[in-house]
Amino acid sequence: MDLAFTPEELAFREQTRAWVRDNLPKDISEKVRNSIHLTRDDMQRWAKILGQKGWLGWGWPKQFGGPGWNAVQKHLFEEELALAGAPRIVPFGPVMVAPVIMAFGTPEQQKRFLPGIASGEVWWSQGYSEPGSGSDLASLKTRAERRGDKYVVNGQKTWTTLGHMADWIFCLVRTDSASERRQEGISFLLIDMRSKGITVRPLILMDGGHEVNEVFFDDVEVPVENLVHDENKGWTVAKFLLGHERMNTARIGTSKRELERLKAYAQTQQANGKPLLDDVRFRDRVSRLEIELTALEITNLRFLDQLRGGRPPGAEVSMLKIKGTEIQQGLTELMLQAAGPAAQAIAPVGADDGFDAFTAALAPRYCNYRKTTIYAGSNEIQRNIIAKQVLGL
């Protein structure tokens, strides 16, 4: 096993770092570093910059317009973006539905949908969770009935992240209720969010933010050519997509950036007449989290070494999702502890130079990160996967 980067990989990192430094808009980077809300324009402006470079689809093979990078190059690219303070690329298009269309879509679907995703022009959202169907996704009830050359969709999706900004949504729908196994009779549809009968209702979070939504489908007509893969075989597509989603949830680079930010802040704060970072109990918690993050990075490098050797990791990749999201939550907890009563609910509009950017929006960010151990399959589900498929229990 070789966990060291080759000279060629290190050169690739430097080239990527230089390009990001020269092309990442400073105002967007400042918002990310200070946890200030990003607008749709902010996120799409950066997506289009990456799209012009051909890097929005950074994980795509060359045949579909991507750079054709290997697993190590993709990892280095993601880490350099995070360390530079770039916004997280909204994954629903380039990371999730695009690989599905490449693997299961028809040539016509590939020509129709992939260019808009690669350029950053077309935004997607994910229609998976429903009331009563979250981690138990196979219990979904949104139904699509075939009528000639159309499906008629009725039902509801919930916790639909950025659904109010999306142009399209990919959905799991039930096309056969008579199947003996719940995983059977499910299909994967691509649905235009401008279709008649779609209603998006915001779910306002505790901090007043609008990030997630309920999406209602009332007799929504979807052309049959928007079916991906075979009818009633959507569970195969769903499992493939969830694998891509879970690989994208560890966010090691982002956690490394936020850890350094926490340590710098704690060094300036006073506790009993000395810097907070010198407090033994606080320093111990920071050190433990840093050790866990280092261990996670080494584990990720082990997976990358497997991929480098042509051996895709199996169910054990769930470890990245579990530990990565727990570390993200741990960081927000320590940040809140470091700021104490100074943690603010929202960043003041038009804040001047004396405004403490670190404490801005810390409390809402802490609350928001409670979701990380739930989405993409809860961490309890991931532990069951490891127990059954890796440990054989």
Give me the active site residues, please: 245
Which are the contacts of 160, defined by CB distance < 8 A and separation ≥ 6? Answer: 125, 126, 127, 129, 169, 200, 212, 213, 214, 215
| AA letter at 174 | R
Token pair 């990310």 in the structure block, residue:
32
DSSP 97: I
Tell which residue, 92, 93, 82, has the closest CA to residue 118: 93
Do the beta carbons of residue 212 and residue 201 sit within 8 Å? no
CA–CA gap between residue 379 and residue 366 (Å, rounded) = 18
Type and span of the H or E element at 253:
helix 252-268
- CA 344 from chain center: how many Å? 26
Token pair 């704690």 in the structure block, residue:
266
Structure tokens at 148: 């000639």
